[in-house]
Structure 1
Amino acid sequence: MSRLSRIVPSRTTLAFAVSAALLAPPLLAQETATTLDAVQVTAQRKVENIQDVPVSITSISAEKLDVLGSGGTDIRFLSARVPSLNIESSYGRAFPRFYIRGLGNTDFDLNASQPVSLVYDDVVQENPLLKGFPLFDIEQVEVLRGPQGTLFGRNTPAGVVKFDSVRPSQELDGYAQLAYGSDAMVNFEGAVGGALGGNWSARASALYQRRDDWVTNTYPGPNDGFEGYDESAARVQFLYESDAFEALFNLHRRDLNGTARLFRANIIEPGSNRFVPGFDKDEVSLDGVNFSDLETWGGSARLRWDFGQLSLHSITGYETLESLNRGDIDGGYGAAFLPPGMSGPGFIPFASESADGIPDHSQVTQEFRLESDYGGRFDWQAGFFWYREDLTIDSFNYDSLSPGNPRAGHAVQEQENTAWAVFGSAEYAATDKLKLRAGVRYTKDEKDFSATVLEGAPFGAPVGGPYTVDTDVDDVSWDASAVYEVNEAVNLYGRVAKGFRAPSIQGRLLFASAAAPNGGVSTADSESVISYEAGIKADLFDRRARVGFNLFRYDVSDQQLIAVGGGANVATLLNADKTIGQGIELDLEAWLAEGLLLTWGSSYNDTRIQDDDLAVAVCGGGCTVTDPTTTIGGGTYALIDGNSLPQAPEWIHNLTLRWGIPLSEGELYFFTDWAYRSEVNFFLYESPEFRGRSSLEGGLRVGYGWGDGAYDFALFGRNITDQTRIVGGIDFNNLTGFINEPRTFGAEFRLNF
């Protein structure tokens, strides 16, 4: 089979997708007169109809967010709920890793940069621990696929996930929502807002979530159980509005105390990606300490001056955090060199217990943007962006085999990152039907990094340092697009864009050998991506259905990759010569009948690493490497040319159905949602043991609303089939993995006022 045939979706696949989008709705929607409301988005930093934006974009409504989050799950509930979006974590709730079209970063370092940018209330959240801020009192979520570097602030070669909170208003309104479910799960959120007098209004929002441990520790270790959490978050906003000036101030905070990611030793059957016989998800045997503590808070000031045909925007943001996350990495107890019966489950070559935390952090951002509104054929935006982050990372090792699990290693990383950019974007209506857009951005990025081993680890590096790295780069990103209006209901669009990600630095020192260059600090050079896409957006059947369909291809030069783990348990940054990806994406929403609403999303992504000489360390034991291998410095390395990117499923499908039945006093409704993703590789090399099986998770909600929407009571279930899957692995020691969230069910009451 040729490489091209392996990468390009077959004609049958494309024909089926187009037919499903364009031919299925009339068979089902012709019986209803209900129409879809227009979806307004801010993908181009201004409010527009989603059908007019030349970007592959999915918007998620507030009601859908409430349903998906009803089980108390964290931001990862969005994974596979949007075409081409995957989210996973080896830290649990604290540290989500985002992937769009297969582009992401599996690095677990607290200094890791991601090619997917997360923007919360117009402020970029750069550090990975900031990206997990809970979703509550949210107006809308937008997922923008493909490079977005012209108008958005930091590292966006893969895309942007954008959250917008409900803004204050002069009208008194709010809600309170309380759910209780399995494992003593409590999920509360609420908000209240209204006028303060004069031109001022305010809104306060809060969330509280908790769950008891549902996994029992059968070993008499420091922890009796795992997977419980206690999390709270709050946000307060103040809005001032006058004829020519608006100011929106935001303060927010998050506190999380719970379990770190729970690693389970030897749960993978050798030669396959299935659980070993007798696996029990409700039990583990660990001798290490496990916890996750995270505190974040921040604020922003968004100002807008209206000068008639011009408006000036100022966005100032500040974020800070403090964290410590500790876990039993070997996933079991004891070690193989101890007397028989003193280690397990399965083979534990040696004990590994570690922690990483950020004791000191600050992020400051400032943007000024000037926007025109001439009311004619031509408009533009231009601005300046400044970013500064300072952080300190502590890494610790511990001795699980000694009483009290004493510390046995300590390293510190420090980094200062300063970046600034100037940007401009313009749009021109060439004809009544053809609109052209283009943008350009110049970025300057500097990093000063230092790492020191203060206390040497028994199996790693001795005391040493500081080991330093400085980077200083600049780049020009750009995009150009066109939208052609076939008629009032159908738009065709095309887009080409260049994205950029600044160099990354990684300092996992405690397991590095004494002979490792620069103490084990590694650096990946800048990466750039060129993306092409073309698509159609249409309102069909008198606006009873809406569809968006596109094809895309991207080429990444010098892609930053992380070789995680392996027999040496080190993480090394690399650059691949080239990575290519291409595929299709489909979004469909349709009224199938009166009261019956369907949403459907699908994507096909095929990614390939192209680098004949790129080799990475393989697992430390137990796995079956299927790639060609070579020997480097006495160690076995896998050649990964032609492999897909890790955590990059080829197929994603998602479905929701909502059926509402009007009754005399209210509405009885049924809501079901399903998300499918195909198999994924956990690492850069290929191995059946570390290739996650396909996943299909569903939810069900049955509720009754009354009082003109003032009251709602519902019963719900998440992961209703109780599917259990291995979703990630640790490959340095044995066949260790971690699994997905269990089935949850409960009841929820909501009051709107």
Structure 2
Amino acid sequence: MKAMKRSTLATLINATLFSAVAGTSFSSLAAEEKTAKKSNQLEVIQVTARKRVENAQEVPVAVSALQGDNLDAYSSAGMDIRFLNAKIPSLSIESSFGRSFPRFYVRGLGNTDFDLNASQPVSLVVDEVVQENAILKGFPVFDVERVEVLRGPQGTLFGRNTPAGLVKFDTVKPSQEFDGYGSVSYGSRGAVDTSGAVGGALTDRLSARVSLLWQDKDDYIDNQAPGFEAKDEQGGYTEKAARVQFLYEGDDFTALLNYHTRDLDGSPIAFRANVIKTGTNELVDNYESDVVYQDAASRSTQQVESEGASLKLEWELKNHTITSISAWESAEIYSRADIDGGYGASYIPDFMGPGFIPFSSESADGIPDHDQLTQELRLSSNFDGDLNYQVGVFYFDEELTIENYSYDTFSTPNAGALNGYVRQQQDTTAWAVFGSVDYTFSDDLKVTAGLRYSDDDKDFVADRTLSPIGGGALLVERDVSDDHVSWDLSANYKVNDDVNWYGRVANSFRAPSLQGRILFGDDVTTAESETVTSYETGIKSDVLDGQGRVNATVFYYTMDDQQLTAVGGGANFNRLVNADKTTGYGFELDTQWVLSDEFNATFNLSYNKTEIKDNDLAVAVCAQCTVTDPINGSGLAVLDGNSLPHAPEWISNFTLRYTKELADGNFFASGDISYRSKINMFLYESVEFEGKELIETGLRTGYTWSEGDYEYEVAAFVRNLFDEQQVIGAVDFNNNTGIVNEERYVGAEFKVRFF
């Protein structure tokens, strides 16, 4: 224990010194050179991390923003929201549902739970509206102005379920200026990605913007299971989405109405039986990305529909601003898949593969009904003096119905007949009051303090009417509730005109959770609230006369009663547990550079070390893998000392963009490399389920030119340039079934912008 503490302290001190040296030495170098200001300086990045527009360099929060060319390059290839994985320090994203149900991890904190009732410690906020259910978080990314990632607890201003941080999307808003764009790309496997938007004035006070998306990809995965052979049976999708906004701008009043909708029809992510070599974490030698061996592939499907609306009203008074945000969100999903990823089973003579399949698993999950209502009302001061504040109230109401299905793959005469059904119903109400105060002690020192009281209540019923294992009918009711006071205290000190130092300590919580996936078990498990206290300090600096930006942060947090999900572990259901304590520490480096008139670059790096501290916490393990954790007398793996699942220690990203005037336009070429170190896929550690390091390289090159009020762009691009494929997710209760990352994607795009 003492050795660990010394190591932690040493790491924090070293990283702190590094960040300080990076900020001050570069600033000194710039001062010494006394070069004239250049026209190609980095732009000032405005963020709304604290619910008001501020310079990102002056906000005492570890925040990264992604916009412009890099955002366009990353989202090429019709990617869903997972394109953000490892593109920002300490952020990783994964999913076992494919293009829906993304799971976010920040500074190692996330949730591997695949149940549709799973809560997450990373919140997603789109246009100032929280997207609580994981299905809402999969909404396509298009016509987006900026992505912000706020690391560390954000409970004071953003509330419950933000102990790790939040991801924030701001879409392009209507304006009086007429503008828009249209783009179409074509790529590998017949993929088509089309999006466009147009907006402008309807009257001198009313403007509108319409944004559309259509994506389509052919099925390309062949099924080669004996007796079930089929060409192009999986892998495709059709995704449609739209957003319509109206903005009214009066003399001291604005109103913004936003309506959005999504429709996805496609295949779930492909599960592949025994795709991992036993005793290793390598793919089997005969792995083919466009082939599966499944006996239920023909019934695999995924449909998602969602829609929502929000109304933001803002009154500008003499010394205050009143803001009201009313919102409604709704989602439906049905996703059915061959979970074991193979064909046959051990109890069917001479019919099983690939590899050993103990039993067949074909299941589905659905949300037939979901409604989320939120209301926020806040008052912000606009004083010219040293003191400013904002206070507010927040209300959240969600009604959620979940259906879990199990199917008998080998039933006769109707293959795939229903043999298990559970209906979950959860009603959640939460409310909060919050406030934040800024005080300027001097021209150089500004301090912020925040406080929020939250109350959360869940009423839950799980009703099993059909059991696949003869368990019979079961009705279980549970109620959980809690309240919590979140707080934060931060300071920002201007070292000089180019360097800001900040420090922050914050506390937040994740509300109690329930898990009622009782198709194969009788337990409805609950988890108490988790609470986190985080300490961080860092430097934000503009260097080399505005041609460089170096932001560095070090942090340490402790989490009490962390909510963890024991996924699978020899049984096809999940259980919630609380870990006594979890600690995490690390550093983050986020930099941008104007290297010359023609070259721009970014580089970021993060280190996250997490550790579970609970001598008594133990979970069931996999059916066939090689477990490396200590095993107790009950055959359970002891988790004390393990890192958190899907928590890479290292994340890094590098981008380089070259632009050159050519004829009447500009030639450009850009590249990016992202790196994510190894991960544990489950709470316990094993050889097979240790995800390997993942490196992804992307390239994009093209030409832009203008004619009148139009700007044109043609580009070619490739994602996962070196076609690196490996297991990024797994199913452990049956056989060594794995999920493999996307293969190389090559495409071309044409885009036009008009004004």
In the superposition, the TM-score normalised over structure 1's length comes to 0.96
1:587-666 equivalence runs, <5 A: 587-621=590-624, 623-632=625-634, 636-666=635-665
Q: Which runs of 5+ in 2 are unaligned?
A: none
Q: CA deviation at 1:137?
A: 0.5
Match of 1:382 among 380, 383, 391: 391
Question: Secondary structure of 2:83's partner?
Answer: helix
Cα distance in 2 between the residues matched to 1:29 and 1:153: 45
Closer, same or farther in 2 for the Cα pair 1:668/1:469, shift >3 Å? same
Aligned equivalents of 1:434, 1:114: Cα separation in 2: 35
In the other structure, the counterpart of 1:516 is none
Residue 254 (1) aligns with residue 262 (2): yes
Equivalent residue letter for 1:257: D
Amino acid at match of 2:721: I
Of 322, 330, 342, the match for 2:340:
330
Q: Quick one: distance in 2 between partners of 1:231 and 1:7? A: 46
1:414 aligns with 2:414: no
Q: Which AA in structure 2 matches 1:147? A: P
> Residues 13 and 649 of structure 1: is their aligned pair in 2 closer, same or farther, counting only changes over 3 Å?
same
Aligned equivalent of 1:428, options 411, 420, 439: 439
Which deviations, in whole Å up to 9, do the C-alpha atoms of 1:51-75 show, x marking residues without a partner? 1000001000132221111111100
Instruction: Report the AA paired with residue 565 of structure 1.
Output: G
Task: Quote the offset at 1:472 in angstroms.
Answer: 1.8
Render the CA deviation track for 1:333-386: whole Å, top value 9, x for unaligned: 01011111x110000001000000000110000000000011111100000000
**1:399 and 2:405 aligned:** no
User: What percentage of aligned pairs have identical amino acids?
Assistant: 52
Report how many aligned residue pairs link the two structures: 740
Q: Give the Cα–Cα distance (whole angstroms) in 2 for the partners of residues 752 and 279 of structure 1.
A: 43
1:285–1:332 Cα contact (<8 Å) kept: yes
Once residues 20 and 702 of structure 1 are traced to their aligned partners in structure 2, the CA distance between those partners, rounded to angstroms, is 32
- How far apart are the structure 1 equivalents of 2:512 and 2:348? 44
- After alignment, is 42-51 or 26-35 more displaced? 26-35
- Give, in angstroms, the shift of residue 131 of structure 1: 0.3
Q: CA deviation at 1:270?
A: 1.4
Aligned to 2:700: 701
Q: 1:265 aligns with which of 266, 273, 287?
A: 273
CA distance in 2 between counterparts of 1:383 and 1:560 reads 28
Amino acid at match of 2:480: T
Provide the rounded CA distance (Å) in 2 between the counterparts of 1:418 and 1:21: 45
Could you tell me which amino acid in structure 2 is paired with residue 204 of structure 1?
A: V
Which of these residues, 222, 228, 246, is aligned with residue 221 of structure 1? 228
Aligned-residue offset at 1:223? 6.5
**Does the 8 A contact of 1:548 with 1:588 survive in 2?**
yes
1:60 and 2:56 aligned: no
Q: One-letter code of the match for 1:40? A: Q
Contact 1:124 1:154 in 2 (8 A): no
Name 2:5's counterpart in structure 1: 4
* Cα separation, partners in 2 of 1:21 and 1:319, compared to 1, 3 Å: same
TM alignment of 1:535-554, pairs within 5 A? 535-554=538-557
CA distance in 2, matches of 1:361, 1:91: 18
Structure 1 residue corresponding to 2:569, chosen from 563, 566, 571: 566
| 2:688 aligned residue | 689
Q: 1:40 aligns with which of 36, 43, 46?
A: 46
Aligned-partner SS, 2:376: strand
Question: C-alpha displacement at 1:227, in angstroms?
Answer: 1.4
Q: Does 1:463 align with 2:473?
A: yes
TM-superposed deviation, 1:9 = 6.8
Residues 558 and 669 of structure 1: is their aligned pair in 2 closer, same or farther, counting only changes over 3 Å? same
What CA deviation, in whole Å up to 9, does each residue of 1:466-499 have, x standing for no partner?
A: x011012110000000000011110000000001
Is the Cα contact below 8 Å between 1:508 and 1:571 reproduced in 2?
A: yes
Contact 2:464 2:518 in 1 (8 A): yes
**TM superposition outliers: structure 1 runs of 4+ over 4 Å:** 5-33
Task: Say if 1:117 and 1:156, in contact at 8 Å, map to a contact too.
Answer: yes
Match in the other structure for 2:739:
738
The CA deviation at 1:698 is 0.8
- Structure 1 residue 350 corresponds to structure 2 residue 359: yes
Give the 3-state SS of the residue equivalent to 1:741 in structure 2: coil
Q: Which amino acid is the alignment partner of residue 685 of structure 1?
A: Y
C-alpha contact (below 8 Å) 1:453/1:461 kept by paired residues = no
Distance 1:384 1:122, change over 3 A: same
TM-score by length of 2: 0.95
Pick from 323, 326, 330 the counterpart of residue 316 of structure 1.
Answer: 326
CA distance in 1, matches of 2:26, 2:241: 43
What is the SS of the residue equivalent to 2:294? Answer: coil
User: Which of 438, 445, 448 is 1:437 aligned to?
Assistant: 448
How many Å separate the matches in 2 of 1:222 and 1:520? 39
Aligned equivalents of 1:55 and 1:76: distance in 2?
Answer: 24
Decide which of 499, 505, 512 is 2:514's aligned counterpart: 505
1: CA distance between counterparts of 2:21 and 2:504? Answer: 23
Question: Matched residues in 2 for 1:209 and 1:290: separation?
Answer: 20
1:16 offset after TM fit, Å?
6.7
CA deviation map 1:55-110 (0-9, x unaligned): 00100013222111111110000010000001000111111000000000000010
Whether 1:120 and 2:126 are equivalent positions in the alignment is yes
Equivalent residue of 2:738, what SS?
strand
**Equivalent residue, structure 2, for 1:515:** none
After TM superposition, the structure 1 stretch with the greater mean CA deviation from structure 2, 38-47 or 271-280, is 271-280
Please state if 1:92 is matched with 2:94.
no
**DSSP 3-state at the match of 1:76:** helix
* 1:121 alignment partner AA: D
Report if the CA contact (8 A) 1:30-1:593 is conserved.
no
Partner of 1:239: 247
Q: Could you say what secondary structure the match of 1:487 adopts? A: coil
Q: Does 1:575 align with 2:578?
A: yes
* Counterpart-to-counterpart distance in 2, 1:461 and 1:580: 40
The answer to whether the Cα contact below 8 Å between 1:562 and 1:574 also exists between their aligned partners in 2 is yes
One-letter amino acid of the structure 2 residue matched with residue 210 of structure 1: D
